[in-house]
Structure 1
Amino acid sequence: MLPTSHALITAVQLGSVLQAARKAQGLTQAALAGRIGLSQSRVSHLELNAEELSVGQLLAWCAALGLELTVGTRGSPAASSATHADW
Protein backbone atom coordinates (compact mmCIF):
# COMPACT_ATOMS: atom_id res chain seq x y z
CA MET A 1 0.00 0.00 0.00
CA LEU A 2 1.23 3.49 -0.85
CA PRO A 3 1.74 6.18 1.78
CA THR A 4 -0.95 8.86 1.62
CA SER A 5 1.39 11.53 0.24
CA HIS A 6 4.78 11.87 -1.39
CA ALA A 7 7.17 14.80 -1.61
CA LEU A 8 8.64 14.64 -5.10
CA ILE A 9 11.81 16.38 -6.21
CA THR A 10 12.63 14.56 -9.46
CA ALA A 11 10.79 13.18 -12.47
CA VAL A 12 12.20 9.73 -11.68
CA GLN A 13 10.40 9.86 -8.33
CA LEU A 14 7.18 10.87 -10.07
CA GLY A 15 7.40 7.97 -12.48
CA SER A 16 8.03 5.55 -9.62
CA VAL A 17 5.05 6.85 -7.65
CA LEU A 18 2.74 6.65 -10.66
CA GLN A 19 3.89 3.11 -11.42
CA ALA A 20 3.51 2.03 -7.78
CA ALA A 21 0.01 3.52 -7.60
CA ARG A 22 -1.00 1.69 -10.77
CA LYS A 23 0.35 -1.61 -9.48
CA ALA A 24 -1.22 -1.11 -6.04
CA GLN A 25 -4.61 -0.94 -7.76
CA GLY A 26 -3.87 -4.08 -9.75
CA LEU A 27 -3.95 -2.29 -13.08
CA THR A 28 -1.85 -3.26 -16.05
CA GLN A 29 -0.27 -0.60 -18.20
CA ALA A 30 -2.80 -1.49 -20.91
CA ALA A 31 -5.75 -1.01 -18.54
CA LEU A 32 -4.47 2.38 -17.40
CA ALA A 33 -3.74 3.35 -20.99
CA GLY A 34 -7.36 2.67 -21.90
CA ARG A 35 -8.55 4.92 -19.09
CA ILE A 36 -6.38 7.88 -20.07
CA GLY A 37 -6.39 7.56 -23.85
CA LEU A 38 -2.79 6.52 -24.41
CA SER A 39 -1.18 3.38 -25.76
CA GLN A 40 0.32 0.78 -23.43
CA SER A 41 3.77 1.53 -24.86
CA ARG A 42 3.33 5.24 -24.12
CA VAL A 43 2.34 4.49 -20.50
CA SER A 44 5.43 2.30 -20.17
CA HIS A 45 7.62 5.03 -21.64
CA LEU A 46 6.17 7.74 -19.40
CA GLU A 47 6.59 5.66 -16.24
CA LEU A 48 10.31 5.56 -17.07
CA ASN A 49 10.51 9.12 -18.48
CA ALA A 50 8.02 11.09 -16.40
CA GLU A 51 9.70 14.37 -17.37
CA GLU A 52 7.90 13.96 -20.72
CA LEU A 53 4.42 13.94 -19.15
CA SER A 54 2.30 16.93 -20.09
CA VAL A 55 0.35 18.57 -17.30
CA GLY A 56 -2.85 17.32 -18.92
CA GLN A 57 -1.54 13.76 -19.03
CA LEU A 58 -0.42 13.96 -15.42
CA LEU A 59 -3.81 15.20 -14.26
CA ALA A 60 -5.62 12.52 -16.28
CA TRP A 61 -3.28 9.87 -14.86
CA CYS A 62 -3.95 11.09 -11.31
CA ALA A 63 -7.71 11.13 -11.91
CA ALA A 64 -7.65 7.59 -13.33
CA LEU A 65 -5.82 6.32 -10.24
CA GLY A 66 -7.74 8.38 -7.68
CA LEU A 67 -4.68 10.46 -6.87
CA GLU A 68 -4.62 14.13 -5.92
CA LEU A 69 -1.87 16.44 -7.11
CA THR A 70 -0.85 19.07 -4.55
CA VAL A 71 1.80 21.75 -5.00
CA GLY A 72 3.27 23.62 -2.06
CA THR A 73 6.36 25.22 -0.63
CA ARG A 74 9.12 22.71 0.07
CA GLY A 75 9.30 21.77 3.74
CA SER A 76 5.82 23.03 4.59
CA PRO A 77 2.95 20.75 5.61
CA ALA A 78 0.83 19.44 2.73
CA ALA A 79 -1.88 21.80 1.60
CA SER A 80 -4.50 19.04 1.63
CA SER A 81 -6.77 21.06 3.93
CA ALA A 82 -6.89 24.00 1.51
CA THR A 83 -10.26 24.66 -0.05
CA HIS A 84 -11.15 26.23 -3.36
CA ALA A 85 -12.22 29.29 -1.37
CA ASP A 86 -8.54 29.78 -0.47
CA TRP A 87 -7.81 30.54 -4.13
Structure 2
Amino acid sequence: MPPTSHPLLTASQLSSLLQAARKAQGLTQTALAARIGLSQPRVSHLELNAQDLSVEQLLAWCAALGLELTVGSRGGGAAAAPLKTDW
Protein backbone atom coordinates (compact mmCIF):
# COMPACT_ATOMS: atom_id res chain seq x y z
CA MET A 1 0.00 0.00 0.00
CA PRO A 2 1.48 3.40 -0.97
CA PRO A 3 2.15 5.93 1.79
CA THR A 4 -0.56 8.47 2.37
CA SER A 5 -0.21 12.10 3.30
CA HIS A 6 -2.59 14.07 5.51
CA PRO A 7 -2.23 17.85 5.46
CA LEU A 8 -2.89 19.23 8.93
CA LEU A 9 -3.94 22.78 9.62
CA THR A 10 -5.35 22.47 13.15
CA ALA A 11 -4.55 20.71 16.42
CA SER A 12 -7.96 19.05 16.20
CA GLN A 13 -6.98 17.42 12.92
CA LEU A 14 -3.75 16.20 14.51
CA SER A 15 -5.72 14.74 17.43
CA SER A 16 -7.97 12.81 15.07
CA LEU A 17 -5.04 11.55 12.99
CA LEU A 18 -3.04 10.33 15.98
CA GLN A 19 -6.02 8.55 17.49
CA ALA A 20 -6.98 6.95 14.16
CA ALA A 21 -3.40 5.79 13.54
CA ARG A 22 -3.24 4.16 16.99
CA LYS A 23 -6.56 2.40 16.50
CA ALA A 24 -5.64 1.27 12.97
CA GLN A 25 -2.68 -0.58 14.47
CA GLY A 26 -4.87 -2.19 17.12
CA LEU A 27 -3.05 -0.46 19.97
CA THR A 28 -4.69 0.55 23.21
CA GLN A 29 -3.78 3.84 24.82
CA THR A 30 -1.96 1.81 27.49
CA ALA A 31 0.16 -0.02 24.89
CA LEU A 32 1.05 3.23 23.11
CA ALA A 33 1.84 4.90 26.43
CA ALA A 34 4.33 2.14 27.23
CA ARG A 35 6.03 2.60 23.85
CA ILE A 36 6.49 6.36 24.24
CA GLY A 37 7.10 6.61 27.97
CA LEU A 38 3.89 8.36 28.99
CA SER A 39 1.01 7.35 31.22
CA GLN A 40 -2.30 6.17 29.73
CA PRO A 41 -4.15 9.22 31.15
CA ARG A 42 -1.59 11.50 29.45
CA VAL A 43 -2.03 9.70 26.11
CA SER A 44 -5.80 10.07 26.49
CA HIS A 45 -5.43 13.79 27.21
CA LEU A 46 -3.08 14.36 24.28
CA GLU A 47 -5.32 12.50 21.84
CA LEU A 48 -8.03 15.01 22.69
CA ASN A 49 -5.73 18.03 23.08
CA ALA A 50 -2.92 17.73 20.54
CA GLN A 51 -2.04 21.38 21.11
CA ASP A 52 -0.51 20.25 24.42
CA LEU A 53 1.97 17.87 22.74
CA SER A 54 5.62 18.83 22.91
CA VAL A 55 7.62 18.40 19.73
CA GLU A 56 9.56 15.62 21.45
CA GLN A 57 6.32 13.82 22.35
CA LEU A 58 4.94 14.23 18.83
CA LEU A 59 8.09 12.80 17.28
CA ALA A 60 8.08 9.84 19.71
CA TRP A 61 4.38 9.26 18.97
CA CYS A 62 5.05 9.28 15.22
CA ALA A 63 7.99 6.88 15.61
CA ALA A 64 5.91 4.49 17.72
CA LEU A 65 3.18 4.39 15.08
CA GLY A 66 5.43 4.32 12.02
CA LEU A 67 4.39 7.82 10.99
CA GLU A 68 6.61 10.44 9.41
CA LEU A 69 6.32 14.13 10.21
CA THR A 70 6.88 16.36 7.20
CA VAL A 71 6.68 20.14 7.07
CA GLY A 72 6.24 21.95 3.77
CA SER A 73 4.77 24.97 2.10
CA ARG A 74 1.08 25.04 1.34
CA GLY A 75 0.31 24.66 -2.34
CA GLY A 76 -1.94 26.89 -4.38
CA GLY A 77 -1.09 30.18 -2.67
CA ALA A 78 1.43 32.89 -3.17
CA ALA A 79 5.03 31.76 -3.02
CA ALA A 80 6.28 31.66 0.53
CA ALA A 81 9.34 33.65 1.50
CA PRO A 82 12.44 31.52 2.03
CA LEU A 83 13.08 30.56 5.63
CA LYS A 84 16.12 32.08 7.33
CA THR A 85 18.02 29.67 9.51
CA ASP A 86 21.13 29.96 11.62
CA TRP A 87 22.34 26.46 10.80
What TM bracket, shorter-length normalisation?
Answer: 0.7 to 0.9
- How much is the aligned-residue C-alpha RMSD, in angstroms? 1.2
Which residue number in structure 2 is paired with residue 13 of structure 1?
13
Which residue number in structure 1 is paired with residue 64 of structure 2?
64
Amino acid at match of 1:27: L
Structure 2: unaligned runs, 5 residues or longer: 77-87
TM, length-normalised to structure 1:
0.82
Which residue number in structure 1 is paired with residue 42 of structure 2?
42
TM, length-normalised to structure 2:
0.82
Aligned-partner Cα distance in 2 for 1:67–1:28: 17
Give how far 1:4 is off: 1.1
SS in 1 for 2:6: coil
Give how far 1:70 is off: 0.2
Q: Matched residues, percent identical? A: 82
Q: Give per-residue Cα distances to partners, 1:8-31, cap 9 Å, x unaligned.
A: 000000010000000000000000
Q: Give per-residue Cα distances to partners, 1:25-58, cap 9 Å, x unaligned.
A: 0000000000000000000000000000000000
Q: Structure 1: which 4+ aligned runs deviate by more than 3 Å? A: none
Rg: which structure is higher?
2
Aligned-partner Cα distance in 1 for 2:35–2:75: 34
